Amino acid sequence: MIERGLFIGRFQPFHKGHLKVVANLLNKVEELIILVGSSQYSHTINNPFTTGERITMIRLALNEASIEPNRYIIVAAPDVEMHSIWVSHIISYSPNFQIIFSNEPLTRYLFTEAGFEVKFISFYKRAMLSATEIRKRMLSGGDWEELVPKSIVQFIKHIDGVKRIINLSKKDNPY
Amino acid sequence: MIERGLFIGRFQPFHKGHLKVVANLLNKVEELIILVGSSQYSHTINNPFTTGERITMIRLALNEASIEPNRYIIVAAPDVEMHSIWVSHIISYSPNFQIIFSNEPLTRYLFTEAGFEVKFISFYKRAMLSATEIRKRMLSGGDWEELVPKSIVQFIKHIDGVKRIINLSKKDNPY
Amino acid sequence: MIERGLFIGRFQPFHKGHLKVVANLLNKVEELIILVGSSQYSHTINNPFTTGERITMIRLALNEASIEPNRYIIVAAPDVEMHSIWVSHIISYSPNFQIIFSNEPLTRYLFTEAGFEVKFISFYKRAMLSATEIRKRMLSGGDWEELVPKSIVQFIKHIDGVKRIINLSKKDNPY
Amino acid sequence: MIERGLFIGRFQPFHKGHLKVVANLLNKVEELIILVGSSQYSHTINNPFTTGERITMIRLALNEASIEPNRYIIVAAPDVEMHSIWVSHIISYSPNFQIIFSNEPLTRYLFTEAGFEVKFISFYKRAMLSATEIRKRMLSGGDWEELVPKSIVQFIKHIDGVKRIINLSKKDNPY
Amino acid sequence: MIERGLFIGRFQPFHKGHLKVVANLLNKVEELIILVGSSQYSHTINNPFTTGERITMIRLALNEASIEPNRYIIVAAPDVEMHSIWVSHIISYSPNFQIIFSNEPLTRYLFTEAGFEVKFISFYKRAMLSATEIRKRMLSGGDWEELVPKSIVQFIKHIDGVKRIINLSKKDNPY
Amino acid sequence: MIERGLFIGRFQPFHKGHLKVVANLLNKVEELIILVGSSQYSHTINNPFTTGERITMIRLALNEASIEPNRYIIVAAPDVEMHSIWVSHIISYSPNFQIIFSNEPLTRYLFTEAGFEVKFISFYKRAMLSATEIRKRMLSGGDWEELVPKSIVQFIKHIDGVKRIINLSKKDNPY
């Protein structure tokens, strides 16, 4: 079995689709690194949650799903402007890994070039189970709760996350 | 009476609507801090003026309106990527204040969370008295001058500001 | 004859239109500085090539056209947020020059203000000979090769550049 | 019992002293956040290890000490220039916490000001059990191994960490 | 009389020497721009105060000295790495000026090169009246209060500034 | 013969020792990339010259030495904080290369790790022929001119470089 694999996402927020992926990937690697990308953003309409909040949510969901904490490592990394350094940038912020799981074409392209094994992820109910859809439902008053693990529903309520997203979506004085 | 209040804007440029707001707020606080936001930008289509020019214009307009200079403080601050640090960032660049005047949802949300009193601003003739409208009129040859104080009209002419905005709006070689 | 002139571009990629411009300008100046702008980007849909690759391509094309290497200097510079420092920023990254060749309104405006002579460039077959058109053809399988010098065609094939652009254009999981 | 506490360090490298502290603090809080500071540095004489390597070492040591992985959370954050935003910066990168354990005067000062409870840490054999001492021994060929947990000794050997530090200490051409 | 002059300092903190300079320079220019440099730092041993605090102190001292507020403008600017852009950087952050008052060799050199008039400042009791001396006395329990205007003494006490500097001077765990 | 080699320096300024190295290395590679490091600095005591000036000096010296301009490529790159990305950072800013010439331990270490061939440089009269020695002589009025090629002597005089370094060495008001 491969020692460690890497799974990159923004997790705004982490949802049931991500959880399925993690559970799946843990059948393929001994340890999974879950990398929270775009860590330098928060409180924007597409990046509403801080890195700290995203780490908290991932941990809550994996605990809720009874996934053993010694099977995964959560890390975070900011974006870079020059994508040609992306691979060595990720390597700097993450424990060592041997395989990447990603459907994102640039990530696939760059890590393949760098000699890593890169595998596709099969997402479950992709159209519905997406962070974009969840943020859309939060804004429109739709049922976002069915798309995220219960512990994350609770956490988002606790930090009043839906109100935050609604506030972020409002425009007033174009400051 | 409250000691100090904070009023944040980009002021691209400062106009008669801003002036009314300042005059109004000075009935509510002893000193008003006028914070020039997005200070790191200039010479873009939405941010044509430098921080120095914006400070100059605000001073000119307040002098013209005979507002006592010991009633206001003009400061400036760049944007931040991680909005969760916005409140402490502003606090670092500004003299101490007890109240925020803002209609901008994110600013309202973050300062409220941080325990500040946040009040709405009633803008006068909002649709017309906006910096966006002024820049639009500058580009189309419309009457922008009626929307800004005379001393600012003069200053913008002195620095050839309309020509600058027209130049910024042109596209050629997509460099 | 003027000692040195400056020609700024992103060169994503350098094409036959650029080459004609360089050849032309070399009739007007003893040495031409070719400045690779936006040097901090690579592997994005509008900035697919690294600074190193862009420098390589320019050199290849000028060699292919038998332009003497002591007639030009290739340098690079990142973008700046505050455009009011653009002129002194460029001066810092480039050997000394006396004239700018540019159709880009902001560059023309800022260098004129700073007291430089600024001249227009006559581009040949502008609509077709553009980097945007080339990247579009690369994506759609069109004939991009006719628009760039042969040595650059070869180089782009060598680094598998078309595949890179196609990969960059794909969207998957909106990470 | 307090829900979560924060322990900040650079962990260059994590050693037996840090391990004792973690074990101790876990008697006082349900979960301990271990924050890897100065995360933007690596391969300097005082910051030889990357963030990814530091996270790996902490995990190895805590596993070796049989500390349950659901008792701690490892996160990382870069330094800031304006220390007045330090508290909100840390909050952004970390799960929520109620208490800080630190002997570092600035951290103590800023978090106390911000209303957090801040407690001193009792370090064991402070003079000897320090990362500075370890790096010194690595350079001079001393017995650094006795100061770090076995699994970290192994890891540092695996990545050839001593050789790296020796290389970093050499000066040649003052590039 | 010259319209506007520029006086740059870090003002950590503003003291009686600075005040004398300002009073003096106001005999030479109609308006004086007081530029708070190194605005990106705070809470370090050499830069203990935030930009907001420094602006507050300058205003207090000038009010205390009954200097008319329409005679001066306080602005702030961060440092730059590439000093060759220093002049245009300062111009971006400041209202327009015609003369610089500075004893700092680099500033004198760069502004002279850029065609500005640059004049020396005669400091009063230079050895004693310096911010470095003041911070030293704060640390050693000396009489710093005699060196700064009364209103600033009060302000520094109000924000507990001496305690802050003492805290910043302590070293513990070398985080 | 190896296609391309890389030679990194700060070249503050480029001197006869560097020139000897370039001439030597051109016996080993078809093309030599001369990379101007620390490109983001200028006008400091250790980095007095801008990137543009350094590029100009290198070109002058190589022309003076009748080295064919199609044998070398001059590029520039800023420093990075996280040294673990140094290799991919350099690769991004430079045309492709197969060998590195460097005595600098970190560069040697990182490029070796990345699988590059790294060779030592034999410097001629190392103690005397160094940029540090040259800057020292410039400050003390010593004979720096014997250490740099004639065309660079002329250039430094033309830009009044010695006066600049002397100015940078002066300290006044600790701004």
Q: Check the CA dihedral A13-A18-A22-A25 and report its sign.
A: negative
- Nearest CB to F92 within list C52, C69, C93: C52
What is the value of ipTM here, to two decimals? 0.93
Q: With an 8 Å Cβ cutoff, are F50 and E84 in contact?
A: yes
Q: With an 8 Å Cβ cutoff, are F107 and D175 in contact?
A: yes
Closest CA to A107 of A97, A99, A123, A118: A118
* Structure tokens belonging to residue F80: 């990075």
pLDDT digits (tens, 9 = 90+) for E142-170: 999 999 999 999 999 999 999 999 988 98
Q: E with A: 3 or more CB pairs under 8 Å?
A: no
- Nearest CB to F104 within list D40, D42, D172: D172
Contact residues on chain A for B45, CB-CB shorter than 8 A? none
Residue A128 φ then ψ, to 5°: -90, -40
DSSP string computed for F131-174: HHHHHHHHHHT---GGGS-HHHHHHHHHTTHHHHHHHHH---S-
Among A138-142, B10-14, B37-41, F127-131, the minimum mean pLDDT is found in F127-131
Q: Model's pTM, two decimal places?
A: 0.93
d(CA E48, CA B37): 24
Residue C158 CB neighbour total at 10 angstroms: 10
Question: What is the total residue count of chain D?
Answer: 175
- The predicted structure's pLDDT at residue E174: 42
The packing angle between helices A105-113 and A86-93, to 10°, is 90
- The predicted structure's pLDDT at residue E172: 60
Q: Which amino acid is at A113?
A: E
The number of helices, as runs of H, and strands, as runs of E, in chain F is 7, 5
Whether C167 has its CB under 8 Å from any CB of chain E: the answer is no
SS (H, E, C) C56-77: HHHHHHHHHCCCCHHHEEEEEC
Closest CA to D52 of D163, D170, D159: D159
Residue B116 CB neighbour total at 10 angstroms: 17
Contact between A94 and F93 under an 8 Å Cβ cutoff? The reply is no
pLDDT digits (tens, 9 = 90+) for E101-132: 998 888 999 999 899 999 999 887 777 889 99
Question: What is the total residue count of chain B?
Answer: 175
Closest CA to B162 of B171, B148, B175, B174: B148
Residue B23 has pLDDT above 50, yes or no: yes
In sequence order, the β-bridge partners of residue A123 are none
Helical (H) or strand (E) element with A3: strand A2-9
Residue F140 φ then ψ, to 5°: -95, 5
The more confidently predicted of residues F174 and F5 is: F5
Residue F125 CB neighbour total at 10 angstroms: 12
Q: With an 8 Å Cβ cutoff, are B105 and A164 in contact?
A: no
Question: What is the total residue count of chain F?
Answer: 175
d(CA B90, CA A116): 44
Contact between B35 and B75 under an 8 Å Cβ cutoff? The reply is yes
Q: Check the CA dihedral E71-E77-E79-E84 and report its sign.
A: negative
d(CA D34, CA D55): 9
Q: With an 8 Å Cβ cutoff, are A86 and C43 in contact?
A: yes
Q: Please, what is the average pLDDT of chain D?
A: 93
Nearest residue of chain C to residue E84 (CA atoms): C92
pLDDT digits (tens, 9 = 90+) for F41-73: 999 999 999 999 999 999 999 999 999 999 999
Contact residues on chain B for D92, CB-CB shorter than 8 A? 82, 84-85
Mean pLDDT of B126-141: 92
Contact between A134 and A147 under an 8 Å Cβ cutoff? The reply is yes
Q: Are strands F117-119 and F99-101 parallel, antiparallel or unpaired?
A: parallel
DSSP-derived 3-state class of residue C7:
strand
- The predicted structure's pLDDT at residue E175: 38
Residue F59 φ then ψ, to 5°: -60, -45
Q: With an 8 Å Cβ cutoff, are F88 and A92 in contact?
A: no
d(CA C41, CA F62): 30
Mean pLDDT of F117-128: 85
The number of helices, as runs of H, and strands, as runs of E, in chain B is 7, 5
Whether E88 has its CB under 8 Å from any CB of chain C: the answer is yes
Q: With an 8 Å Cβ cutoff, are C81 and B40 in contact?
A: yes
d(CA D67, CA A52): 22
In sequence order, the β-bridge partners of residue A22 are none
Residue C68 CB neighbour total at 10 angstroms: 11
* Structure tokens belonging to residue B43: 């010479």
- The predicted structure's pLDDT at residue D175: 38
Place of tokens 């502290």: D21
DSSP-derived 3-state class of residue E134:
helix
- The predicted structure's pLDDT at residue D174: 42
Nearest residue of chain E to residue D9 (CA atoms): E175
Whether E91 has its CB under 8 Å from any CB of chain C: the answer is yes
* Structure tokens belonging to residue F68: 């064919």
Residue E139 has pLDDT above 70, yes or no: yes
With cut-offs at 50, 70 and 90, classify the pLDDT of residue C172: low
Q: Please, what is the average pLDDT of chain E?
A: 93
* Structure tokens belonging to residue B170: 């042109």
pLDDT digits (tens, 9 = 90+) for D67-124: 999 999 999 999 998 899 999 999 999 999 999 999 888 899 999 989 999 999 988 7
Chain F adjacent subunits, 3+ CB pairs under 8 A: A, C, D, E
- The predicted structure's pLDDT at residue C106: 86
Residue C58 has pLDDT above 90, yes or no: yes
Contact residues on chain F for D167, CB-CB shorter than 8 A? 105-106, 108-109
Place of tokens 């020695």: F133
- The predicted structure's pLDDT at residue F172: 59
The packing angle between helices F51-64 and F150-158, to 10°, is 150
Percent of chain D with pLDDT over 90: 84
Residue E22 has pLDDT above 60, yes or no: yes
Residue A125 CB neighbour total at 10 angstroms: 12
Task: Give residue F8's region: left, alpha or beta (phi > 0; psi -120 to 50).
Answer: beta
In sequence order, the β-bridge partners of residue C72 are C32
With cut-offs at 50, 70 and 90, classify the pLDDT of residue F173: very low
d(CA C110, CA C100): 11
Cis peptide before D95 (omega within 30 of 0): no
d(CA B81, CA B83): 6
Contact between B97 and B33 under an 8 Å Cβ cutoff? The reply is yes
Residue C175 has pLDDT above 60, yes or no: no
- The predicted structure's pLDDT at residue C41: 94
Mean pLDDT of F72-94: 95
Q: With an 8 Å Cβ cutoff, are F55 and C91 in contact?
A: no
What separation, in Å, do the N-terminal and C-terminal C-alpha atoms of chain A show? 53
Whether B88 has its CB under 8 Å from any CB of chain D: the answer is yes
Q: How far is CA B123 from CA B101, B103, B148, C55, D31, in A?
A: 11, 10, 15, 52, 49
Contact residues on chain E for B87, CB-CB shorter than 8 A? none
pLDDT digits (tens, 9 = 90+) for D7-27: 999 999 999 999 999 999 999
Contact between C12 and C132 under an 8 Å Cβ cutoff? The reply is no
Q: With an 8 Å Cβ cutoff, are A85 and F89 in contact?
A: yes
Q: How far is CA C23 from CA C15, C27, C31, C56, C144, in A?
A: 13, 7, 11, 18, 21
Residue B125 CB neighbour total at 10 angstroms: 11
Contact between F106 and F83 under an 8 Å Cβ cutoff? The reply is yes
The more confidently predicted of residues D123 and C163 is: C163
Chain B adjacent subunits, 3+ CB pairs under 8 A: A, C, D, E
Contact between C2 and C98 under an 8 Å Cβ cutoff? The reply is yes
Contact between C14 and C111 under an 8 Å Cβ cutoff? The reply is no
Q: Please, what is the average pLDDT of chain B?
A: 93
pLDDT digits (tens, 9 = 90+) for E60-79: 999 999 999 999 999 999 99
The number of helices, as runs of H, and strands, as runs of E, in chain E is 7, 5
Contact residues on chain B for D87, CB-CB shorter than 8 A? 88
Contact between E37 and B73 under an 8 Å Cβ cutoff? The reply is no
Residue C105 has pLDDT above 90, yes or no: no
d(CA E119, CA E108): 8
Whether D85 has its CB under 8 Å from any CB of chain B: the answer is yes
Instruction: Strands of chain C (E only): list them.
Output: 2-9, 29-36, 72-76, 99-101, 117-119
d(CA B64, CA B45): 27
- The predicted structure's pLDDT at residue A144: 98
- The predicted structure's pLDDT at residue E104: 87
pLDDT in tens, chain A (175 residues): 779 999 999 999 999 999 999 999 999 999 999 999 999 999 999 999 999 999 999 999 999 999 999 999 999 999 998 899 999 999 999 999 999 999 888 899 999 989 999 999 988 777 788 999 999 999 999 999 999 999 999 999 999 999 999 988 987 644 3
pLDDT digits (tens, 9 = 90+) for F145-171: 999 999 999 999 999 999 999 988 987
Whether B79 has its CB under 8 Å from any CB of chain D: the answer is no
d(CA D17, CA D33): 17
Percent of chain E with pLDDT over 70: 97
Contact between D147 and D129 under an 8 Å Cβ cutoff? The reply is yes
- The predicted structure's pLDDT at residue C2: 78
Q: How many CB pairs under 8 A join B and C?
A: 49
Whether F173 has its CB under 8 Å from any CB of chain A: the answer is no
